[in-house]
Structure 1
Amino acid sequence: MINKQFCDLLAVFLVEIKKKFGITAKLLTDELNLSKNTLTNWKKGAYKPNGKLSKRFLNYLIQFKNEQYELISKDDTFYNLIEELIEVLYDELNSLLERSNSFDRNFEERRLKDRKKNFQKSFTNFIEFLSKVARLYDLEYENATSNYLKTRDYQKKEVFDNLLALKLINKNKRGTFSIQKNLAKLLNVSQAQISRWKKGIDYPSSTNFKKIGELCNFNSDAPLAVYEFKEENFESMFLKTPMLSYELRQFEYEYLEKIKLFIEKSGYNKILESKIKR
């Protein structure tokens, strides 16, 4: 790590390079494309160069040593000074790289941990959603509204129909529901695997994530893992025509309005009224 050693070496280097080669701190600052007081702050230890500037200064020293080798090699003290500076900068860059790799590893570990947690909760909520919809099918399919689903009328029926078509809420031969078994069959995995996902013991492979994504109409590389999906979030995933109910009601309204207008303009309204009164 760059410390007092770097500051001391830099101070001597600036004096020697000016004396031997006429390169002032100003010229060196321009050569390294540094701000006006950067070298001064490095020398005083006010702050140390970051990775980018450390690498820039290191490359400069290596190039300078190679280009001026004949002159520098005649002065062991100056040559050793440059070698020490190069070594200190190498150590700093290696230290920065190690810290960066450690940060990346920690970030990936936290990211994976969060995804596993989100998936476990989302997958559990998905199974709970399917279980509740399955139990409500016989009771609410023909109803206009539902005590659980947010959609109404045609849209509500469409959710039921799509889940049935996918064989997600179908009854088994005994007339009971086996949601996890249905899921296992659709995803081509064992029931034990479904159970492990639900309990958070296992995490899906990329292949299984793709299957889950296709099942839930996702494009994500890790569906249900990016954030936690609640039970109410799954309904829309199985609604292929979200505007169907609205469009049908709108059509019915416009159709009836046109019939009403036609009757009024044609004069049939009085005839109809008289027949209704009879």
Structure 2
Amino acid sequence: MNSDFNLYLKIFLSILKKDFKITANQIAEEIGISKNTLTNWKKGSIPDLEKIKNLLKFINKFNKEHVMASENNAVIVELTNVIESYIIRQETSIYQRKNEKERRDLKIRRKRRFAKNFSLLIDFLNSVALREDAVRNDENYTNVGESEEVFDNLLNKEFISRNEKNGSIAIQKNLAKKLHVSEAQISNWKSGKDFPNKDNLSKLQKLCSFNGSGAFLDYDFTIKMLENQFLESPNLRFKLTELEQKYFIIMKSFIKESNLEGILWEKISRNPSEILIGYPGEVLETVQEYFYRDCILLLKEAFRFVDVNLTFEEWLRVNVPNHDFFPNLDSTDGFRFYVDDIDYGYKIIREFKNINKDIGMINRFIVSNKKLFYLTKLLMNKLEETGIEFEDWLEEQYGIVNETDYFRKLSANLCNTLTESDFNNTDYVEEFYRQFWEFIINKSSIVDIRMHPTMQVYIQDINSEEWIYSRMASNYSLLKSVLDIGFEKGKLSANGRYLLDGRESFELLFKNHSIKTFREESQNRDFDKVKELEKLYRRTVKFLQ
């Protein structure tokens, strides 16, 4: 707290006494402190956070109930600004300390999970190496062809090898060599005695072909997951993806040279939310609704513990700030500003109901949270603009959350969706191409929602990949319709002829070079994935190379 506080507080108290006959004793009693404490504040002592919040409430209430001369009102504005800045600094400091504890807890959880997953990886590698023959009858594997492919792929990556002299398997030795660390280090990671640094962790993730920084840390491995991770035939898969990539690149070139990008843009712009995953205009508005609902219902939970003679709406309106210091919900940064306050608030409510009855936490982090009341202000402004009554809006929100299949999405995950869909309408075509290429890459591997949690915002059934494959097929149909316009224009260029001649082969590859197709066909015990990949390559390479 700086000297401005002492100065403006003295002037404010003088105005109250002179113009409104309100004494220091009355003020002290109103905000729950002694007169001596108020005197000490004027002299420069640092106020307690909760007490200074009470002073701010008193000032806001006084300001609403009384009309003053402009010069006196300016004093109140300055004093309010000084107090609110102090509160924000103090709450930020509290949040940082709390956040530091959460980071420490996360680090501990990640260390434990890493040891568990790394140990499972080594056990898995050992089991594959030791049971090269017996694995043919192992129920953990889908079929003989796949078990051989796992073994071949691990040999190819040099994860496993056998000592020709004594027949021993050198799993940990091979890992140490590949990662450029000692065998003792590998043993310490496996036992949980040590944890890899950022560089070694990244090497391990890349070595195992995991995408993203969360592998080994943020979700538990299973034998089936590791099995699928090493199930690919690297050379065949690469060759097939190369063919798809070439066809895709020539599609883009043909659309551009045929002046069809405008037509593609127009088709996307008619209904972008049905074509692009995470169309920002829709997602932004949707996430705004989620944030407003979560904020108000969180405050409604906390209001049960507030001792005031006001309705919930009246209490909200009394506490909304009269400034615009905080960001609006019109950008990713704006949303991120409120994420932790909402998610942590719900955590406090859960802990209050299930673990302890610490009302102080509710008061400190919810009832006194200026950010939540600023969100309330944004919502009320929006409702007033649209002519919707707050009570009607609140009743509608309760109708939503009381549905049997409702679950609250984490604000952090919702915020991530905005990051993933950070494009505007001028980028429709580029975003469409990016999305379509990601479909091509991802369809030949497992669609794992846990590794892409923000997909939950777009997918109704988050345990199903059908939605993704359906969107992929519709995206190709859109591309195909644009290409057909170019094919009908007359004499085809070399690119056009390549696309037309290779269309059947590309569609065969587009459909069948897919983990979903392999899974469905693998129900037949005679199915061999490696042989099917080879057959697919032979059928398509002639027209697409």
By the TM > 0.5 criterion, same fold? yes
Contact preservation (8 Å) 2:146, 2:529? no
Q: Secondary structure of the equivalent of 2:141?
A: coil
Per the TM alignment, residue 180 of structure 1 is displaced from its structure 2 partner at its CA by 1.0
Q: Secondary structure of the equivalent of 2:219?
A: coil
**Structure-2 separation of matches of 1:202 and 1:7:** 51
The two structures have a TM-score, normalised by structure 1, of 0.59
**In the alignment, what sits opposite 2:83?**
88
**Structure-1 separation of matches of 2:534 and 2:189:** 45
**In the alignment, what sits opposite 1:178?**
170
Q: Secondary structure of the equivalent of 1:208?
A: helix
1:223 and 2:212 matched: no
Per the TM alignment, residue 164 of structure 1 is displaced from its structure 2 partner at its CA by 1.8
1:5 and 2:55 matched: yes
Give 2:121's match in structure 1, choosing from 117, 126, 131. 126
Matches within 5 A, 1:24-103: 71=71, 84-103=79-98
Per the TM alignment, residue 219 of structure 1 is displaced from its structure 2 partner at its CA by 1.1
1:20 and 2:83 matched: no
* Amino acid in the other structure paired with 1:140: A
Per the TM alignment, residue 4 of structure 1 is displaced from its structure 2 partner at its CA by 3.2
Unaligned runs of 5+ in 1: 22-70, 73-77, 253-278
Contact preservation (8 Å) 1:171, 1:178? yes
The two structures have a TM-score, normalised by structure 2, of 0.32
Find runs of 4+ consecutive structure 1 residues off by over 4 angstroms: 11-16, 78-84, 246-252
**Structure-2 separation of matches of 1:148 and 1:128:** 17
**Structure-1 separation of matches of 2:57 and 2:149:** 73
**Structure-2 separation of matches of 1:182 and 1:86:** 63
- 1:112–1:249 Cα change, 3 Å: same
**In the alignment, what sits opposite 2:153?**
162
- 1:89–1:245 Cα change, 3 Å: same
Deviations 1:227-255 (A, max 9, x none): 11023321111111464715847999xxx
* Amino acid in the other structure paired with 2:54: K
Q: Secondary structure of the equivalent of 2:178?
A: helix
- 1:135–1:250 Cα change, 3 Å: closer
Instruction: Look at both structures and tell me which one has the larger radius of gyration over its CA atoms.
Output: 1
Contact preservation (8 Å) 1:128, 1:231? no
- 1:191–1:222 Cα change, 3 Å: farther
- 1:248–1:98 Cα change, 3 Å: same
Contact preservation (8 Å) 1:209, 1:223? no
**In the alignment, what sits opposite 1:140?**
134
**Structure-2 separation of matches of 1:247 and 1:79:** 78
Unaligned runs of 5+ in 2: 1-48, 234-514, 519-526, 536-545
Contact preservation (8 Å) 2:125, 2:171? yes
Deviations 1:75-110 (A, max 9, x none): xxx787666544432321122211222233233223
**In the alignment, what sits opposite 1:203?**
195
